[in-house]
Every structure is written in C-alpha cells, then in structure tokens.
Structure 1
Amino acid sequence: MVCLMFFSSTLFFGSSPSKITKASLDFERKKLGPYTKLVRNVNLEKLKNNYLFPEITRRELEHVEKHPNARLISLGTGDTTEPIPELITSEMSNFAHALSTVEGYRGYGLEQGNETLRQAIANTFYGNMRVKSSEVFISDGAQSDISRLQLLLGSGVSIAVQDPTFPAYVDSSVILGQTGHFNEATKKYQNVVYMPCGPKNSFFPDLTMTPRTDVIFFCSPNNPTGYVASRKQLLQLVNFAKNNGSIIIFDSAYAAFIEDGSPRSIYEIPGAREVAIEISSFSKFAGFTGVRLGWTIVPDELLYSNGFPIINDFHRIVTTSFNGASNIAQAGGLACLSSVGLKEIRSVLNYYKENRKILMETLVSLDLTFRAQVSDLVEKSI
C-alpha cells in the first residue's frame, strides 16, 4: 500500500556505510593526537546513525559516484525545485541593496520578528482564529524552532510522536535527554511513546490506547506519509490533550497543500489555544528552503501547571538564543503575503500539485493501492 507524499520520503540510495570497527576507531584516535578532558555529552551518544536527510544525500552522492550515468529521482529531504517568483526575490534584492545606503541600512531587528510581517502572518494564515501578532514568533525555519521548543520543554518531559514522522522530533528529544536509552530489540527509545499511524488505523493514532505524555508532537499533513488529519480527528486530539493536561506541538509545514477542507491549523479546533503550539514555515509554501524563514505561534492562554504563561518563557528562549530572522528573508516573507505575492505562490504550488496528480495516475496505471485527498482528481483507496 502506498500513501502519497508531498515531498519527503525515507528512501535510501547506494550501499550501506562501511562498518566501523574498534581497531579502526583506535587508529583514528592515534591520528588525532592528545585528547581533552571534556567528557562527551551522554545524550549525543544515544543518537543512532547520522541524521536521516544528510545520510540520504551522502548515499545518493556515493551512488552517483559509482554509477555516473544513473538517473535518480531523489525522494530524500523535502526540498523544492521551482524558482521563487521574481516579485518576491526583487523585494529581497532591493532590501539587500538598500543596506549599502545610509537611508536603507538596518541592523538588528526585533528578536520576535518584524511586527508588520507578524501581523501579515496572523491575518493571512489564521484569519478569524484570534491569533495576535504578539503571539507570532518569526524564525529561520520550523526545524530550528523545534530545537528552541525543546529548550523550553527541558529534559524532564515525556513525549509522544506519530510513527512514522519527521525525525527531528525524536532526535532533538534525544539531545535534550528526554528519551532514555535506545532499545536495540525494538529500535525505539524507552521513554518515547510511538503512536502508530499506518494503514491499519487509517493513519491516525488510537488515542484510547495512547498513554498520557507531557508533549505530543503532531504533524498534519504528516511527513512522510502525507496524511491529512480531519477536523473530527483533530478535535479528538485536542480533547485528549485537554483531558490529560498535555501540550501539542503542531507542525503545519505542508498545510498549503491541503485542498479538501481539512484544517490547515490546529487553531481551527475549539479549545486548541489552551493546549497547542503551532510551528510552520515559508519553505514549502513559498520555496524558501534556501532562504530560511518560518514562525511559531504560542497563544496567551497556554499555561504551565502553576498558571505561568508559556509564551513568556518562549520569548526569553528566543531573545537568549536567537537574534531574529534575517531582515532580507523577512522582506521576502512580506512580499509573499501581498495579494500579488500570494497569487504568484499559488501558481508555483499548482505545479507541485500537478506532479502529485501525475504520480497518482501512474500508480493507478500500475494497479497500486494508495490513499489520496478526496478532492484529488484521481483516487484509489484501500
């Protein structure tokens, strides 16, 4: 059974990496010379293998080197391929050029981001969901914000993740010391609750069988399966979090590809402002994978068990660990959210959606079973 993906996959290319033996490690140590007395971070020792997407790239390059005439279609990291509309790049270019003038020079901006851009994000993506500009934190991308949120959460929390899901959730949790040891038999970390999201349960976790955790990482559309949670399912998730006193970290990076009326934001669900943080990005929406721009929403209503506002601590994390997103990137973000910019972006998104349609038609021709959104022109479900 195949479930359609938007961009990401976990296919690996090339041969397996060469085996590292104790003798080879000893040899490398001799070459390195004297050691420091610094003890390695025990949490980093718990990480298994390399981070997924650089490893895919490494194996792909290795394969191409061995087979230079091979034709590869990369299903690795969720990168975009189409040029950014000129209207948007022109705004970034003009802003960058203005930095060489007395009138146009700008230094550090607000750590939380340009107020005009924050308001534009609140208006464009959240409409009547009561998201205020003061609750929007501009960043250099959703993945960076995942790590900043981990700093907010600390090492003492318990987490749940969809299975499968974006690997940064678990890896960043390992680095913070949240996960416990890795179980070689199950290939999972002992303190992580893995919520199966596959064909057997229609790609949504059975919450009646899910134990309580402090934090639930949830991605819709899911990366890598592409499954879009329905309004009813997200209501179940929000109620589950409220009943258990949990916080949802909701990743909506691929929301622009939802076409069937399903929620693009967790804040479309009643009560979500009391239990959810949302992270999102310009990467897939506007092709900003190389520009780096994203945002996180932390509602005022979201409180710790002692009643202290979580937004206050996240603001402190951001001001301590981050000096704000690039002013040039933010100028591009503002251009994206103009009426003309949105029109240009929709045109590019339609190109990717056409690719999805071609893939679906091909799967149908091969008589392969898959899941697709109801609104797609071609559908063959289980």
Structure 2
Amino acid sequence: MATINQNYWNLKESYLFSEIASRVLSYQKAHPDAHIIRMGIGDVTLPLPPAVIDAMHKAVEEMGHAETFHGYGPEQGYHFLRQAVGDYYKQKGVCLLPEEIFISDGAKSDLGNILDILGQDNTVLVTDPVYPVYVDTNKMSGRSISYAQANQQNHFLPMPDPHLTADIIYLCSPNNPTGAAYSRQQLKEWVDFANQNDSVLLFDAAYEAFVTEDLPRSIYEIEGAKTCAIEFCSFSKTAGFTGTRCGYTVVPLELVRQETSLNKLWLRRQTTKFNGVPYIVQRGAAAVFSPEGQEQVKHNIDYYRHNAQMITDTLDKLGIWYTGGKNSPYIWLKCPHDMDSWTFFDFLLENAHVVGTPGEGFGSCGEGYFRLTAFSSHEMTRTAMDRFYAILRQK
C-alpha cells in the first residue's frame, strides 16, 4: 500500500491566502453590490514594461522559424540572461560568475526547491512574522523550526541569538510581510553568525528594487556572505512577472559544506528536476536590464512607491504605528483600538470593503498587526485610503 508523507499533517489546514480568498468570496456573495478593493495579496497591477513586450514579440517570431527556433534550453538558464543578471550585480559592487547564477520560474519555488540539496535533519531558523513558504516547505520535510521573534521593540528586525543556532537560516530584506529592511551592520552580524556556525543563510531579496535608502540590496554586499549565503530574487514585483514567472538564484562557488560545493549540488538538482524557463520569457527578462527596461521598471516602481506614500500618509494622520512603505511595497501596521488581526480584517472588509492580510497569518508575532500592499492602482489606493480614514476617524 502506498503511504503518504505524514509531515503534511503538520501544516495548517488552509494556506493563509486561500483563507482570505474564501472569506472575501463569502462576503461578496452576501453583498454583491460591494465594491471590494484588494490590498492583501502582493500581486502587481501595472502591465509588463514595453521593452519586455518587444523582446518577447521578437522571441516569438524567432520560435516560428527553423533557423532561429529554440528547443530545450540549458536548465540553469541561457547565458545571455545570466550575463545580464551578473552585470546588474556589478552595479551593486558585487562580482558574480555566470555559473553562479541560476534562472528559475520564481523565487517562491526555488526557496522551497533548495531544500532538496540540504539534509532533512538540519534545524531551521526563521523570523516571526514570516513568509509562510519558509515554514511550510520545511514542515513538509519534517525539519525542526525555531523562531526569532520580531516586534516593535526590535523594529521587526530580529538579530542573531546564540541560544537559537540553526543549520538553515531564512532572512528576507526588505521583509515580507513587515516591510522592514536590515542595515549593512545588521546583515554583517547575521553573516558572521552563519559562518561561525557553518549555517546556510537563505536570503530572499525579492524586493531589493524598492530600496531607496543606503541599505544593502544584495547579501553579497556584505563581506563573508559568499561562504554562507544563497540569494533568491524575482522579476515578479520588480518588472510585473507575477503571471509570466521568472527569477534567479545565486549559489556562490565559495559556498561549501561537508567538503561539497552547494553550487554543484544545485546544478545537479536542476538538471534532474527542472527543464528551465521558456526562451521567450528569458528574452523578456533580459530586456528588464536594458537601458530602456531599467527606465521603465523604475517608472513602475515609483508608481507603487506613490501608492505606499498614500497609505503611510493616511496612517500618519490617524496616528497608527507602522513600518515599511519606504523601502518596500508592504506596509505593516498595528491594528487600531487593540483589535486582533482577523477582527480587523473583518472590520475593514465589512465597513470599508478593503481587503488586507491579517498579521496573525504570518506567525504568532504578527497577531495584532496587519499588512497592506502598494500594488493597486492610484485610483483604487486613494479610494481605499479615503474609506480607511473615514471609518477609523469615527471609531
């Protein structure tokens, strides 16, 4: 008889965003005339940049002719895109070899898939609140998980604790869900901590393009990171690839554990389990790094920054504590009037027809907090904040 992976019984019955979708659907059925504005899931609203579309059109045309047709591509990605990513890192003062860069279908999948090359007996450390994927993928494999508590006292940026050592450490900066971002000195402490304990630091840099202050945009800007860290990044929020799917993972050749190169292990894993990202998508992704693409991407990110400013301005007027919004598309706010996260979710849905994300869904330290995203249109964000202000000014 076939048996199941019983570690799945350790997962919550419903994924956070599935629960949100279910509640919104029930409310919409009961109130069909309600104009609901969704500011919960971090999906973008602006279309792909013109430079990306032009590159994809050219790639589609190539696929229609025998002399320029592309079949199976290299599992680690076409050289033209890996080279473009490497050139982008040079702008941050980071030198990477093309063979250290692996093109993927998004950061989310690789953050889970990377566990294939790490032992199931490894212990794991995540920050709380936490992006659910970090936790659930490790629970699926039966790993032991510890939590570094993030709170208002540490500005939702927990630092290493000698009592919480782990073999695998997840960090996300700018952070999802809180929007908080680590300084260089803070990341240096984490890198030193990982190297001292022979840990592997999994660094999620999906929101690096939103950084405006003098903060690290790559873990490899920190001395010593190449001997302990793997970095994950995505075109989803940067260039609108949420429905197109493309990202990249960096595994330095210097990263060695048990006398084994993790770069070589990841290459072996990818050549076995992954057939690569479509050629057409990779051509579009490469166009993101062209001068035209960079200008267009900057325009889109500035658009979302303006939305974030509208949100934080509203919170400021109401005297509500928050973090994020400046170096991140996420705004993490303290639920007003001591409401718990799901109570505030229901209150906001019922009274303002606005959907956000309850902080409790990201971990116990998220209870009493709430996440809003800046990925809507200007018009919808303005309307949502007008409603938000009206109901909370009266309460």
Give the structure-2-normalised TM-score.
0.80
SS at match of 1:162: strand
Counterpart of 1:114 in structure 2 is 78
Bigger shift: residues 350-359 or 46-55: 46-55
In the alignment, structure 1 residue 202 sits paired with structure 2 residue 155 = yes
How far apart are 1:200 and its partner, in Å? 1.9
In the alignment, structure 1 residue 364 sits paired with structure 2 residue 316 = yes
Q: Specify whether residues 309 and 196 from structure 1 end up closer, same or farther in structure 2 by C-alpha distance, changes over 3 A only.
A: same
Cα deviation, 1:107-141, whole Å, max 9, x if unaligned, reads 01000001111011011134431211110000000
Q: Matches of 1:166 and 1:155 in 2, distance apart?
A: 20
In the alignment, structure 1 residue 159 sits paired with structure 2 residue 124 = yes
Q: Matches of 1:141 and 1:81 in 2, distance apart?
A: 18
Which of 61, 64, 67 in structure 1 is aligned with 2:31? 67
SS at match of 2:280: helix
Counterpart of 2:67 in structure 1 is 103
Counterpart of 2:205 in structure 1 is 252
Q: Matches of 1:102 and 1:217 in 2, distance apart?
A: 45
How far apart are 1:370 and its partner, in Å? 2.3
How far apart are 1:83 and its partner, in Å? 1.1
Letter in 1 for 2:68: G
Query: How many aligned positions are there?
Result: 330
2:155–2:180 Cα contact (<8 Å) kept: no
How far apart are 1:164 and its partner, in Å? 0.6
For structure 2, list consecutive stretches of 5 or more residues without a partner in the other structure.
Answer: 335-395
In the alignment, structure 1 residue 262 sits paired with structure 2 residue 232 = no
2:60–2:280 Cα contact (<8 Å) kept: yes
Counterpart of 2:373 in structure 1 is none
In the alignment, structure 1 residue 150 sits paired with structure 2 residue 125 = no
Letter in 2 for 1:289: T
Letter in 2 for 1:268: E
Letter in 2 for 1:101: H
Counterpart of 1:303 in structure 2 is 256
Identity %: 38
1:163–1:195 Cα contact (<8 Å) kept: yes
Counterpart of 1:141 in structure 2 is 106
Counterpart of 1:243 in structure 2 is 196
Counterpart of 1:182 in structure 2 is none
Q: Matches of 2:88 and 2:165 in 1, distance apart?
A: 34
In the alignment, structure 1 residue 40 sits paired with structure 2 residue 4 = yes
For residues 1-382 of structure 1, the aligned pairs below 5 Å read: 37-127=1-91, 128-178=93-143, 191-208=144-161, 210-304=163-257, 306-372=258-324
Letter in 2 for 1:154: G
Letter in 1 for 2:154: N
1:138–1:324 Cα contact (<8 Å) kept: yes
Q: Which has the higher helix share?
A: 2
Q: Matches of 2:62 and 2:29 in 1, distance apart?
A: 43
1:113–1:137 Cα contact (<8 Å) kept: yes
Cα deviation, 1:124-183, whole Å, max 9, x if unaligned, reads 1344312111100000000110121011113111100010111001100011121xxxxx
Counterpart of 1:33 in structure 2 is none
SS at match of 2:171: strand
